[in-house]
């Protein structure tokens, strides 16, 4: 009996020591760097417009939904699958833009709501969707159009895609007046078809 208790004690101790050091248990205070999910609404934009009712698989803590993956005043979008939507198309806010990206989860991963100074935007902010984000300054990526699919359109001037610091959004074409109401963001659908924004 003494042998069995000693052996059992050793087995329990060795099992405890065999737990990976990087396990994300609640005792590891350094592993959980994330805010409480219940505070999601504090940072969410487009609450009540991008909802679980409209997007049933949206990962948000309540039916009001909203998006938390955004950058105010910064255009973090890339160049691939550049789709434009304007006021004349019914786009009135950044929420319309983010929603359109969520509606196209197999083509869009990021969006921007800003002045493009294109003829079609009639002096208003417009929506542009992309399937690639801005690349860092030290990266240039050439797309092999013959071996790629689902990326169109891709303007010739954007291939190769030259990395750069993410540009600000502007109120003027000269880029001298930053637009604090310009905004860009990420959306993604995971392998279980859950949407995030």
- Among 88, 141, 131, 87, smallest CA distance to 107 is for 131
Per-residue model confidence as pLDDT tens digits over 37-66: 777 778 899 999 999 999 999 999 899 999
Alpha-helical (H) ranges within the chain are 2-17, 40-43, 94-103
pTM: 0.80
More confident residue, 9 or 146: 146
- Residue 63 CB neighbour total at 10 angstroms: 12
- Among 28, 31, 51, 33, smallest CA distance to 41 is for 51
Helix, strand or coil for residue 88? helix
Q: Which of 24-38, 57-71, 181-195 has the lowest mean pLDDT?
A: 24-38
Give the start-to-end residue ranges of the domains of the chain.
67-141+151-187
**Model confidence at 123: pLDDT above 80:** yes
**67-141+151-187 — its CATH code?**
3.50.4
């Amino acid at each position: 009996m003494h042998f069995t208790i000693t052996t059992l004690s050793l087995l329990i101790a060795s099992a405890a020591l065999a737990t990976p050091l990087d396990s994300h248990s609640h005792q590891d205070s350094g592993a959980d760097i994330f805010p409480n999910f219940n505070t999601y609404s504090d940072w969410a934009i487009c609450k009540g417009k991008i909802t679980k009712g409209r997007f049933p698989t949206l990962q948000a803590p309540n039916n009001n939904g909203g998006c938390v993956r955004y950058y105010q005043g910064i255009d973090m979008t890339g160049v691939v699958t550049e789709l434009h939507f304007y006021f004349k198309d019914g786009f009135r806010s950044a929420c319309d833009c983010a929603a359109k990206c969520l509606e196209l989860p197999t083509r869009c991963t990021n969006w921007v709501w800003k002045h493009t100074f294109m003829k079609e935007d009639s002096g208003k902010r417009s929506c542009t969707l992309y399937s690639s984000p801005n690349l860092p300054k030290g990266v240039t990526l050439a797309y092999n159009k013959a071996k790629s699919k689902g990326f169109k359109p891709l303007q010739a001037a954007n291939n190769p895609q030259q990395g750069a610091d993410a540009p600000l959004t502007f109120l003027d074409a000269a880029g001298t007046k930053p637009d604090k109401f310009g905004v860009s963001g990420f959306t993604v659908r995971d392998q279980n078809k859950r949407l995030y924004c």
